[in-house]
Structure 1
Amino acid sequence: MSDSGFSSQKLNLTLALCAMLISAASFYATYLQAKSAEQQVKAMTLPLLQYGTGNVDPETNKPVISFNLTNGGVGPALVKTVTYKYKGKSTVNFFDYLEDCCSTELKEFNSNPPKNLSLAKGGYVTSSTNNVVVPAQDKLVFYKLYRGELSESLWSKLNAERGYLTVQVCYCSLLEECYVTEQKGVVESVEACPVTN
Structure 2
Amino acid sequence: MIEPTKLLKPQNDPAPRWFHIAVAASMVLSTLSAVYSSMKTSAAMQALVKENSRLVLASSTPLLQLMSSNYDGNKPSLSFKVTNDGNGPARIVWFEMRSEGRLIKSLREEVRGDAKEATPLSLYITTSTIAPRLISPGNSVTLFAWDQPAASDTAALKLWQQFDRQGRGKISVEACYCSVLDACWISDLDGDIPKPVERCEAAGKTTVKG
TM-score (norm 1): 0.85
Matches within 5 A, 1:5-16: 5-16=20-31
State which structure, 1 or 2, has the greater radius of gyration over its C-alpha atoms.
2
Q: Does 1:66 align with 2:79?
A: yes
Q: What is the one-letter code of the residue matched to 1:156?
A: Q
Tell me how far 1:154 sits from its aligned partner: 2.2
| Higher alpha-carbon deviation: 175-184 or 21-30 | 175-184
Please tell me whether the aligned partners of residues 111 and 159 of structure 2 are also in contact (alpha carbons under 8 angstroms).
no
The 3 A distance-change label for structure 1 pair 57 and 101 is closer
User: Deviation at 1:106?
Assistant: 7.4
Letter in 2 for 1:191: E
Question: CA 1:156–1:21 in structure 2 vs 1: closer, same or farther (change >3 Å)?
Answer: same
Q: Mind listing any 5+ residue stretches in structure 1 that lack a counterpart?
A: none
Aligned-residue offset at 1:108? 6.4
Q: Which residue of 2 aligns with 1:157?
A: 162
Question: Is 2:128 aligned against 1:127?
Answer: yes
1:169 aligns to 2:175 (yes or no): yes
TM-superposed CA distance for 1:107, in Å, is 3.6
Q: For residues 85-96 of structure 1, what are the structure 2 equivalents within 5 Å?
A: 85-91=98-104, 93=105, 95=106
Corresponding residue for residue 103 of structure 1: 113
Q: Deviations over 1:45-71 (max 9, x none)?
A: 11000111101113xx11111011111
Secondary structure, in 3 states, of the residue corresponding to 1:104? Answer: coil
Q: How high is the sequence identity, in percent, across the aligned residues? A: 23
Does the C-alpha gap of structure 1 residues 138 and 35 become closer, same or farther in structure 2, counting only changes over 3 Å? Answer: same
Distance (whole Å) between structure 1 residues aligned to residue 81 and residue 175 of structure 2 = 11
With over 3 angstroms needed to count, the CA separation of the structure-2 counterparts of 1:76 and 1:40, relative to structure 1, is: same
Distance 1:157 1:108 in 2: 19
Runs of 4+ in 1 over 4 A off after TM superposition: none
Residue pair 1:99, 1:106 contacting (<8 A) in 2 also: no
Shift of 1:157: 1.8
Quote the residue 1:141 is aligned against: 142
Write the letter of the residue equivalent to 2:142.
V
> What's the TM-score, normalizing by structure 2?
0.80
CA contact under 8 A between 1:46 and 1:74: conserved in structure 2? yes
Q: SS of the residue aligned with 2:97?
A: strand
Query: Is this contact kept in 2: 1:102–1:158, CA < 8 A?
Result: no
Counterpart of 2:185 in structure 1 is 179
| CA apart distance, 1:105 | 4.0
**Alignment partner of 1:64: what SS?**
strand
Letter paired with 1:103: G
Inter-partner Cα distance in structure 2 for 1:42 and 1:192: 16
> Contact 2:100–2:172 (CA<8 Å) still a contact in 1?
no
SS of alignment partner, residue 194 of structure 2 = strand
- Distance in 2 (CA, whole Å) between partners of 1:64 and 1:7 is 88
